[in-house]
Structure 1
Amino acid sequence: MKKLILLGVVLIASLLLLEYFQTKNHQSLFSYGKIQGKVKSPLVNEASGIAASIRNPGMIWTHNDSGGQPRVFLMDEHGKHHGTYYLRNGINRDWEDMATGPGPDPDKNYLYIAETGSNYGQYPYFHIFRVEEPLAGDTANVTAIVDWLTFTYPDGTNDSECLLVDPLTKDFYIFTKKEPNVAVYRYPYPQPKKDSETLIKLGTIPFSHVVGGDISADGSEILLKTYDKILYWKRKEGESIWEALQRKATRLPYIPEPQGEAICWKKDGSGFYTLSEETTGYEAHLYFYKRNNIE
């Protein structure tokens, strides 16, 4: 028994030491999160992704996890509900993340929804739904026809909860979830609407349980979220997302949430938001982490 306890202590210490060499703490970049408000729509009870709106400044999109209707919700920066929008020809098998960004029409802004969950490895193919971003106050509350961007993995099925849309190249980056070192895949632009595409595997990064992420509007900063930490990379000019991820991550301040899977940048770059799913005894609150002004 003593040997087992000692082995457990050594294992935990090794994991902590490994994480120390994988990340560097830098609490001066951003302040700890402050609650902006409670998510007030009773329809939002399993928020799995958030994305700052481009078309509706100061607004934030969110969606529920698997098995619900194909719909997205618009709220303000204090959690007040501003509309429910249905994807006309979409489905919600297992939605896990979302993003806003550019797309095929340079005069339009797009909303991307990642149907990438596969908890038991049961799905052979996956989708990114792309739709022109709805306008707040649209009484129709139904989006335009959704583009189904279908893909498979080159190495079998995977469970993923993180989608990044690169605003500079329009490429997608998809991260697996459960492995000790999660895999990173690229879905290059232009993504075909009719045929399934096989993703390009780029490699792995030394983190597990990546459940969300986002790229800043100017493409220069990357956030990834696990259940207990937020990771940050600064992207150099001319560098790809994958190249940036090869450097050591900076670990940012984080207030743990019971089921925190959602993160997004504020579009002006002044900070970022996180949001948790509701759990027993916990109401979902929107947190904002403000960027510190460092001379």
Structure 2
Amino acid sequence: MQITRFIVLILTLVGFQSSSIFAQLIAEKDPSPVSGIRVKTIDNPILEEMSGLAFSKNHPDKFYTHTDSGGEAAVYVLDSLGSELGKITLEGVENRDWEDIAVGLGPGGKSYVYVAEIGDNLGIHQSVQLFRFPEPESCTKEQSTKPEILTFTYPEGPRDAESFFVDPISGDLYIVSKRDKNNTLFRLRSDDFGKADVVAKELVKLPFTSATAADISQDGSKILIKNYFTVYYWERDKGQSVAEALSEDPKELPYVPEPQGEAIGFRPDGKAYFTISEKRFDIDPILYLYLLTD
């Protein structure tokens, strides 16, 4: 086990561009988590403030990401090695403060991409929004789509949030607040799209603050929420709701704090997770891979 970790460290130091195949080989040799396999440095200035990542269900080797407030109203497609493949422009909306992204169920049981415009640093926005659109059939360099929009409020007024995921079992939509002492889990329904006067339902308080990103595995059995210093992890039993799972004490997973880490996402097989940071202190964003214990 220690030898395997030493090999990973050496490859990381010399700039090895790790692949999912390499990661799978390591997982077979070493069932413990491997900390911070450096996949790629993202040096495109357009992607300096990536604030979310979510792997595709229709294209398992690709993931979606977006930039933070003031960036393009676009979702970018990258592969698991961090190579840029294309851009999906969202028509008729702006990027006021996009903070997270997810892939989940939508109308007709099809796979949809969800973008969460839920950032509100000053707590001044009376309502916030979610956008969704069907996953594209192919990943072309340039395409566009007009998303559905869900506008909603919180039961006790404006909240800042940066963490969002969609339960693949129920189709429910979950948001985790950021600035309260104990972050709060809120729920919306998939069929809330198209409705008026939607209010998110408060569910449970969580044992940490400053949540910056979240994800759920594609089978719904594992959940991640991170802040700037820690990745929290829950295993969800069959038949258990998301709120019931998150009411239990989380485990803490390996994570090397990034300059401003605001994105996390499971690999499609649920056996690993990726993180990426926004650019800070002239350090370009780096895509990292962490392996999970079985």
Q: TM-score range by the shorter chain?
A: 0.7 to 0.9
Q: CA deviation at 1:90?
A: 2.1
SS at match of 1:233: strand
Deviating runs (4+, > 6 A) in structure 1? none
Q: What RMSD over aligned residues (CA atoms) do the two structures have, in Å?
A: 1.6
What secondary structure, in the 3-state scheme, does the structure 1 residue paired with 2:191 have? coil
Q: Give the alignment of 1:1-40 within 5 angstroms.
A: 30-40=33-43
Q: 1:83–1:236: structure 2 CA closer, same or farther, 3 Å change rule? A: same
Matched with 1:10 is none
TM-score (structure 2 length as normaliser): 0.86
Q: Which amino acid aligns with 2:135?
A: E
| C-alpha distance in 2 between matches for 1:203 and 1:123 | 23
1: CA distance, partners of 2:193 / 2:75: 23
Bigger drift between 229-238 and 31-40 goes to 31-40
1:199 aligns with 2:171: no
The aligned runs of 1:220-235 (5 Å cut-off) are 220-235=221-236
Question: What SS is found at the alignment partner of 1:244?
Answer: helix
SS of residue in 1 equivalent to 2:192: coil
**How many Å separate the matches in 1 of 2:56 and 2:193?**
24
Residues 86, 141 of structure 2: 8 Å contact kept: no
Partners of 1:212 and 1:94 in 2: CA distance: 14
Describe how 1:157-176 pairs up with structure 2 within 5 A.
157-176=158-177
Match of 2:123 in 1: 121
Aligned residue number for residue 58 of structure 2: 55
- Note the C-alpha offset of 1:181: 0.5
The TM-score normalised by the length of structure 1 is 0.86
Larger Rg: 1
1:104 corresponds, among 107, 122, 127, to 107
Rounded Cα–Cα distance in structure 1 between residues aligned with 2:32 and 2:188? 31
**Residue in 2 that maps onto 1:6:** none
Q: How many residues align?
A: 265
User: Contact 1:231 / 1:250 at 8 angstroms: preserved in 2?
Assistant: yes
For 1:254, the aligned partner's letter is Y
Alignment partner, residue 152 of structure 1 = 153
Once residues 60 and 198 of structure 2 are traced to their aligned partners in structure 1, the CA distance between those partners, rounded to angstroms, is 33
* Segment of structure 1 superposing worse, 70-79 or 228-237: 70-79
- Tell me the secondary structure at the aligned position of residue 43 of structure 1: helix
SS in 2 for 1:210: coil
1:95 alignment counterpart: 98
CA deviation vs aligned residue, 1:261-284 (integer Å, no higher than 9, x gap): 100000111201000001122111
AA at the equivalent of 2:37: K
Letter in structure 1 aligned against 2:247: Q
Q: What SS does structure 2 have at the residue aligned with 1:66?
A: coil
| 1:13 aligned partner | none
CA deviations 1:183-224 (Å, max 9, x no partner) are 111112322324231011113112100110100000000000
Q: Residue 5 of structure 2 corresponds to which residue in structure 1?
A: none
- The unaligned stretches of length 5 or more in structure 1 are 1-27
CA contact (8 A) 1:40 1:80 kept: no
Whether contact under 8 Å (2:272, 2:292) holds in the other structure is yes
What is the distance in 2 between the residues matched to 1:29 and 1:169? 31
What is the rounded CA distance, in whole Å, between the counterparts of 2:44 and 2:57 in structure 1?
Answer: 21
Query: Does the 8 Å CA contact 2:87/2:142 hold for their aligned counterparts?
Result: no
Paired residue for 2:86, among 80, 83, 91?
83
The higher relative CO (CA closer than 8 Å, separation ≥ 6) is in 1
Distance in 2 (alpha carbons) for counterparts of 1:105 and 1:278: 38
The share of aligned pairs that are identical, in percent, is: 38
Unaligned runs of 5+ in 2: 1-30
- Helix, strand or coil: the match of 1:157? coil
Amino acid at match of 1:41: N
CA contact (8 A) 1:38 1:78 kept: no
